[in-house]
Amino acid sequence: MTPDNSPAPSNPSTPPVTPPITPPAPAVPSAAANNGFTRLAFEDDFTSISTIDTGNTGAPGFKWYPAGVHKWGKPDTQPSEYSVNNSVLRIAPSHSTYNRNFMTRDPNTGEGQSFGRGYYEVRMRVDADGVRNVPPENSSWPAFWAQSNHMHRLNQRPYVELDMVEIMRKDEFLGTLWAHHGGQFDKSLMIKNRKADYRNSNYHSADWHTYGCLWDTNGVEWYIDGVLVLKQYWGEKRNLLAPNDPQQNPVAADGTNPTLSNPFGLFDSETAIDVILGTGKTWPMEVDWVRIWQHP
């Protein structure tokens, strides 16, 4: 008998398999696209807590590490101090963390990711009602920021610090870059941008906002909901875009004018910063998503 090779009849009662719907890729922000940062190098929409090393293992494969910097005596952030619900990360520490609750690289094992120049984005909000200043016992506040990996890994100076979002007072945004050229307590060698604060009657830190920070050669720009609100240029970019703006003159942490030549040039040689989310005991923060755009 000749074998029957015809296909088996389909079962009409079996529903067709619907392929999963892949969400569309986020659009490249114009500030990122205009500077060639079109590759989405990092993204977390917090649809699951699985991107967080909840066991503080320091193992590879996570996007966020809640470990404290143990060699600095900083405790880990515990699972009871954060949650993920409805695609929102809520951070509400019960101990002072010095703004370090989640890092993209574990500071103790070195697992994770560091990043270079690019466009850094976070959509977040802060519960700051009734809070006018940072409580002295807190010493921490809501922030999306970064520091040189070699500082975390080796305690090596000089190093850079890029504060992409800081909320130290209700409805006031701070964007700061720091070039740490000296020792821990030498404020004359801690160099920052002179204009670092932004206030607007229509800006409320308790509302959801998208904060962006563009770090490129010779400059850093800060955006709120796609609008440029702060900028700091040096080198050729300063000469081109803001040659006569005194607000572009750097200042030391002690209020003096730096004696170093081109102190922000430290950012041009930096290639690896660890990105951090963190807040203080009295200021819960909520994060909808984080994205980092870099060159292809």
Residue pointed to by tokens 């569309």? 24
Q: Two tokens at 67?
A: 């470990």
How far separated are the first and last CA of the chain, in Å rounded? 61
pLDDT band at 291; cut points 50, 70, 90: very high
pTM to 2 decimal places: 0.91
Architecture category of domain 37-294 in CATH = Sandwich (2.60)
d(CA 260, CA 180): 12
Whether residue 169 contacts residue 204, with contact meaning beta carbons closer than 8 Å, is answered with no
Q: What is the pLDDT of residue 130?
A: 53
Strand partners for 125:
286
Q: What pLDDT band is residue 199 in, cutting at 50, 70 and 90? A: very high
Instruction: Name the token pair of 2.
Output: 């000749």
CB count in 10 Å sphere of residue 2: 4
Arithmetic mean of pLDDT, 170-196? 95
What percent of the chain has pLDDT above 90?
79
| CA-based R_g, the chain, Å | 22
* Apex 93 CA angle, 125 and 75, nearest 5: 135
**pLDDT for residue 129:** 63
Is the pLDDT assigned to residue 244 strictly greater than 90? yes
Instruction: Please answer whether residues 239 and 233 qualify as being in contact, where contact means their C-beta atoms are separated by less than 8 angstroms.
Output: no
Is pLDDT larger for residue 22 or for residue 242? 242
Task: Dump pLDDT digits (tens) for 200-213.
Answer: 999 999 999 999 99
Three-state secondary structure call for residue 91: strand
Query: 296: exposed, middle or buried (C-beta count within 10 Å: 0-12, 13-18, 19+)?
Result: exposed
Spatial distance between the Cα atoms of 88 and 85, rounded to a whole number of angstroms: 5
Q: In sequence order, what DSSP letters do the residues of 227-285 get, joined into one string?
A: EEEEEEE-HHHHHHH-TT-GGGS-EETTSPPP-SSSTTHHHHH---EEEEEE--TT--E
The single-letter code of the amino acid at 128 is A
Pairing of the two strands 227-233 and 219-224:
antiparallel
CA distance 19 to 180: 51
In the numeric block, the tokens 């015809």 are attached to 6
Among 129, 166, 132, 161, residue whose Cα is nearest residue 278: 166
Position 198 confidence tier, pLDDT thresholds 50, 70, 90: very high
Cβ contacts of 72 within 8 Å, gap of 6 or more: none
Average pLDDT rounded to a whole number, residues 95-121 = 95
CA-CA distance, 157 to 208, in Å (whole number)? Answer: 36
What is the CB-side half-sphere exposure of residue 206 using CA atoms within 13 A?
Answer: 7
Measured CA to CA, the distance from residue 167 to residue 197 in angstroms comes to 10
pLDDT confidence of residue 125? 96
- The residue-averaged pLDDT of 266-279 equals 98
